[in-house]
Structure 1
Amino acid sequence: MHGLVNRSIQCFLRDTYGGDLWAAVAAEVGVAPEGFEALMQYDDPLTDAVVDAAARQLGKQREALLEDVGIYLVSLEPLRRLLRFGGASYEDFLHSLDELPDRARLAVPDLDLPDLTLQAIVPGRFRLDCSSPRPGFGAVFAGILRAMADDYGALVLIDAGSGAALPETVGIELLDTAFSAGRGFDLARPEAI
């Protein structure tokens, strides 16, 4: 697994639950306390061990923890900006998800994201297929979709599915595209004051 993925999980655990939880997870799985290097590659079972240890220590289901990771990722402004370039509305954003792995590889060429395929079921209802040999990406994308709905101000129901079948699927029902104001977004990066 790419170190950027592992580092993101580490930062999520540390920022959300504190350094003591991260230290306990790192000790349990045999990772140095300083954690992962973002540009290195790690064995996939190590990533699974970190997620499983954190879920165990927090008393959470693995899928719920991974969904929280997805929500956390959207709180990071560079990733939020990458996602918001998908369109002016939440529905535009959904239709741009097929392109997301390629856009991410422009920034990090060796980042291996799942293939994403959006299927329109009926107007306002969609299914996102996350095709990856590694389970868990469906839950992460369910969290990303929830957080982005809030970001756009859309009222959306997300069904994360069970994660047991591949490809992992996420059901999306768009109830109201203008439910609330949403967060502001400009293509031009805000100037630092």
Structure 2
Amino acid sequence: MSKTPSSEAQSNQLGDFELNLLKQEYFFLQTTIEDYNKQIWVIKALGITGTSAVLGFILREKQNLSVSISASNIAFIGCAIPLFFWILESQWKHFQRGFYPRVAQIESILANTYGLCSPKIYGSWTYTFKRSPTSQHKGYLWDGLLNRSVCVSYLLEIAFLLIIAAIAYFWKR
């Protein structure tokens, strides 16, 4: 006489199995998002280092008047450095944002299907910062290049270099 599990026991086992898979996927996605953040900070740091190097060249050029390229030209050309890093970081941010809808979906499944109050890492963050789990504007331009967390620092760097270029230009006059 063999014992066959009841359909309720099978359903519970399947539910537990699915719940376990969802938890694993959720924390894998959170780790992946954090890994992207770590890389984004490295990119930002390298961009700021490049901008600092441009400032060093400007200061050196101001002391060495025999160099043919002017400090204002160095600053103007130096704007390409933050521009390149801005494009690189925006690509990483665009890829990272591709994970957000699935994280929100898993949080919704855990709350609605399983009645769990947590984890809500992403949901809590979007609520606190009044963001939508799905981007209102789709595509690389909005999710990456014009993303507020990406573009502000690079726009400030470029503006700073342009101001330095103007100061260097009028300083020689």
Decide: shared fold, TM above 0.5.
no
TM-score, reference length from structure 1: 0.20
Greater per-residue helix proportion:
2
TM-score, reference length from structure 2: 0.22
- The structure with higher relative contact order (CA 8 Å, sep 6+) is 2
Greater per-residue strand proportion:
1
